[in-house]
Amino acid sequence: MDQAKLLGLLIGAVIGAMYAAWQLRALARHERMQREQGQAPKVTSMIPGSMIRVAVLLIVLIGVQMLFPKANLLWVAFGVGLAYGIPFLWRLWLMYSRRK
């Protein structure tokens, strides 16, 4: 694997992991607030906050492209998807297994 791909994968993994942690923290805070109010958690009430987080993610990706022009962007995207997807697949699996 050449340096551009490895750099892209590493940068993407860091961004994806940080973004996943941010999303999961916001989800936990939202669910806690809903439980404290005695309501069932609703996904639709989280949409405004998630749009801001997506906008920040896009700005960070543009910044990475300018700061690290040698990083392979395809591998940055792969790293983000991998590091972001694993925690959410794990959370979905836990949610599904509790329902049984």
pLDDT in tens, 42-63: 666 667 778 889 999 999 999 9
Maximum distance among all Cα pairs of the chain, rounded to whole angstroms: 53
pLDDT of residue 7: 94
Count of domains forming the chain: 1
- Provide the domain limits for residue 86: 3-99
Question: Between 35 and 77, where is the model more confident?
Answer: 77
CA distance 74 to 67: 16
